[in-house]
Every structure is written in C-alpha cells, then in structure tokens.
Amino acid sequence: MLKGMSFRWSLVIPVKTLVAAKTRLADATGPHRTRFAVAVASDTVAAALSCPAVARVIVVTADPAAAVPLAALGAEVVTDPDRGLNTALRTGAAHAVSVAPGEAVGALQADLPALRPAELATALGAAAEFDQAFVPDALDVGTTFYGVRPGVPFTPRFGGESRARHLAGGAKELCVPGIDSVRRDVDTPADLEAAIALGLGRHTAAVVAELWPRSGASG
C-alpha cells in the first residue's frame, strides 16, 4: 500500500464569483465582503502551497478579483465553467491529471482562514491510505476536503449535507486528531469567531483587525 508521503497532491480550490461569496457574513462585513472573501481564500491558498505534501494548487474561478491575487500567491488558475461546485472541482481535477497524472488529487474548500500547513499535511497523509477519503467540517455536516489516490476516479459530492453523501459514495471519513484548522470553514459570524480562536492567516487577520479591532485576531 502506498504510504502518506509516497506521492504528492494537486489540490483544487474552488472560488465562487465574489459578489455571491460569504452571503451569511454580509451583515458583519458590509461593503468589505468581497475583500474579506479574497483574504480568506488567500490564506487558504497560501497555507496549502506551504504544505510539504502539496505539489500544486489549482484555483477554479471565473472572477478576476480572485484570480489575480491568488495567481500572485502561486496558484494555477483555471476558469470555472459555472455549472455548479462539483463541476468546477472536476474541471480543476482534470487539469491536475493532465499536468501531473502521478499525483493524488484533492478538493479543498476556499474558506479555511485558520488553515495550518502541518495540519493539512496530517490530513493528506491520512487520506493517502485510502482510495478516496474526506474530512468533515467542524459541524460534522459538510466537507472541507475530499481526495483520491493517483488513478482513482475523482467524484466529489460537495454542497449541503455532503458528509453523508461522501460516506454513501464509499469515501473514508478521516477522524484524525489535531486537524482542527482543516475542519474550520467560515460561513457565519460564529464560525469566524471559532477561526479567530484558532489563529487566522495574515490576510484575513488584517481585514478582521481593521473591521473589528477588538476581535483579538492575529496572523
């Protein structure tokens, strides 16, 4: 059996059109919602690129406001065909397989502002033991990561109660200790508070410190 570090990963990160991003944080972020969404995606991409198990990050987006700064961080940008989240992920995965067929392919949500490279490496090492695996979100309802080993069909089932759908599709649920930052996606003010407690990446921390100077955010 291939072990966790026997191969590296291509990670696909979908970034929706920013005008539609983070709608549940609209009241909190006000006119800074787009800036906040870019910051969160930037911290997610930067942490993924800093993970030793990650060979490349592929961002799938149709929004230049996201594509430009994320490409500047080192991500490869692929145009979103705008046919839903899972189609976007499969588009990114097809690009990954075309440029690096020997790498494992994973999908990572773009809203992980507290993501730590070492914790992501732990999750990827665990995922590498199975043909397909996923990490549930902090609420055990959704999914923050789904990945497959090289040559295994990539069949993401994100959206809504995706934990149940990934389980039904035969993916192994990764109940790994010490990966809280991989599980902490941010959709609501309560999620953001939990991410602040974990420690935000520098892009998100800068925006949060400006908008909510008493939040205690730090990069």
User: Does 181 count as an annotated binding residue?
Assistant: no
Taking the C-alpha atoms of residue 140 and residue 151, their distance in angstroms, rounded to an integer, is 28
User: Does 143 count as an annotated binding residue?
Assistant: yes
Taking the C-alpha atoms of residue 92 and residue 109, their distance in angstroms, rounded to an integer, is 13
Structure tokens at 24: 């549940």
Taking the C-alpha atoms of residue 52 and residue 7, their distance in angstroms, rounded to an integer, is 11
∠ CA 112-117-118, rounded to 5°: 125
Taking the C-alpha atoms of residue 65 and residue 175, their distance in angstroms, rounded to an integer, is 35
Residue 204 · residue 36 · CB < 8 Å: yes
Amino acid sitting at position 164: A
User: Does 17 count as an annotated binding residue?
Assistant: no
Percentages (nearest 5) of helix, strand, coil residues in the chain: 45, 15, 40
- Binding site for phosphoenolpyruvate, by residue number, is 143, 159, 162
- Binding site, by residue number, is 143, 159, 162
